[in-house]
Structure formats: structure tokens, C-alpha cells
Amino acid sequence: MTSRRAFVKSAALASAGALLSPPLFAAAKPTIGLQLYTVRDAMA
């Protein structure tokens, strides 16, 4: 059986690890590019 102290230590380490490494859990955002010739008539 796990002691309360060991459980609290494990929970604290797990939550600190999750907060310090958000890029590992985040989905990659696609980059969107826009060519200027697609809007050149609207900008003129």
C-alpha cells in the first residue's frame, strides 16, 4: 500500500511535469501561407 506522502509526491511530480512540458501534449498547428498574387487586386 502506498503511503499518503508517497502519493502526494508522485502527484506533485506528475502535475509539475505536465505543466512544464505542454509542447509534448499539444497538437501541431498547421502553418497557413498566403501568396500576395491572390489578393493583389483587392489591395489595389
CA distance 44 to 36: 12
pLDDT of residue 13: 94
Residue range 9-20: mean pLDDT, rounded: 90
**Residue found by looking up cell 499518503 in the block:** 4
| Domain layout of the chain by residue ranges | 4-43
pTM, full prediction: 0.48
5 pLDDT tier (thresholds 50, 70, 90): very high
pLDDT exceeds 70 at position 25:
no
Residue range 18-35: mean pLDDT, rounded: 75
pLDDT of residue 4: 95
Residue range 35-44: mean pLDDT, rounded: 72
